[in-house]
């Protein structure tokens, strides 16, 4: 069967959110519409019919637009986590469920990726993953509800996707994340090279996403918590309890929260 042709476009929202729109010439799905207005503008401007919404977790900047979009089209299918706090979900999904967007001919597997929140899920196929606030370029989400063990396990799941998988995260936090990454992983040449590229992108007003799993494994300290150089850096900074990737992750996350 020929592969379905579709594009994925970032719809900027709030100050640094991206609402990803998966679309062909006629139909569209959106991921984490925190605000309905920019989505409706994009759909109007491009003459697209919205058929599906994918939700990764309960935070308002990812869910705030659901009710207005449903008011405009009661036929929408809204896929999201098994969390009753999120209103408007029409199909609650969990790990290993398959989400099918019929209008686009696309299917995504659901991954459970708790850590940032307990209800957090990601949607992935062979070519892309929508990972919400779990994995960012050169960083990861704050640990609001989970434990370090949980978060490391979730990040491992994402790191084990095929290396060419494109990573669609929800925020443009790349430069701030890179400043921290360079602090804890100063001798990483891939990181410096990527940082130069990202700075140029932002200077030109361009976005830094999507990234890909291969790049993130090379440059993202939160995917490199088993790296002896990062562990040594943390130990030399006084974190003597670092023995494994979980304690290293916990130390990195705490350090980043106050960076
Ligand atoms: Zn969030």
Please write the tens of the pLDDT for every residue from 110-169.
999 999 999 999 999 989 999 999 999 999 999 999 999 999 999 999 999 999 999 999
232: CA distance to ligand 1 center in Å?
A: 30
- Ion ligand 1, residue ranges at CB < 5 A: 59, 133
189: CA distance to ligand 1 center in Å?
A: 30
> Which band of pLDDT confidence, cut at 50, 70 and 90, is reported for residue 4?
confident
Residues taking part in catalysis: 57, 59, 61-62, 116, 133, 171
pLDDT computed for residue 1 by the predictor: 44
Output the 3-class SS for the chain.
Answer: CCCCCCEEEEEEECCCEEEEEEECCCEEEEECCCCHHHHHHHHHHCCCEEEEEECCCCCHHHHCCHHHHHHHCCCCEEEECCCCCCCCCCEECCCCCEEEECCCCEEEEEEECCCCCCCCEEEECCCEEEEECCEECCEECCCCCCCHHHHHHHHHHHHCCCCCCEEEECECCHHHHHHHHHHHCCCCHHHHHHHHHHHHHHHCCCCCCCEEHHHHHHHCHHHCCCCHHHHHHHHHCCCCCCCCHHHHHHHHHHHHHCC
171: CA distance to ligand 1 center in Å?
A: 10
156: CA distance to ligand 1 center in Å?
A: 19
């Amino acid at each position: 069967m020929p592969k379905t042709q579709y594009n994925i476009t970032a719809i900027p929202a709030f100050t640094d959110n991206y609402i990803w729109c998966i679309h062909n010439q006629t139909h569209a799905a959106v991921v984490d519409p925190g605000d309905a207005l920019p989505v409706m503008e994009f759909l109007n401007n491009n003459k697209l019919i919205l058929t599906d919404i994918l939700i990764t977790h309960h935070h308002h900047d990812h869910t705030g637009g659901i009710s207005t979009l449903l008011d405009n089209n009661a036929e929408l299918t809204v896929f999201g986590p098994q969390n009753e706090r999120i209103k408007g979900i029409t199909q609650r999904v969990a790990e290993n469920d398959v989400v099918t967007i019929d209008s686009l001919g696309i299917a995504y597997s659901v991954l459970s990726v708790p850590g940032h929140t307990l209800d957090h899920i990601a949607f992935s196929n062979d070519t892309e993953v929508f990972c919400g606030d779990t994995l960012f370029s050169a960083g990861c989400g704050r640990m609001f509800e989970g434990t370090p063990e949980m978060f490391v396990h979730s990040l491992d799941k994402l790191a084990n996707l095929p290396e060419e998988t494109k990573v669609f995260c929800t925020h443009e936090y790349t430069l701030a994340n890179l400043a921290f990454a360079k602090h804890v992983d100063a001798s990483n040449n891939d990181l410096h090279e990527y940082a130069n590229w990202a700075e140029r992108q932002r200077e030109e007003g361009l976005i830094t996403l999507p990234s890909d799993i291969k790049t993130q494994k090379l440059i993202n300290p939160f995917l490199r918590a088993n790296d002896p150089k990062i562990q040594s850096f943390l130990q030399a900074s006084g974190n003597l309890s670092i023995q494994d990737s979980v304690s290293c992750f916990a130390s990195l996350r705490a350090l980043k929260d106050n960076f």
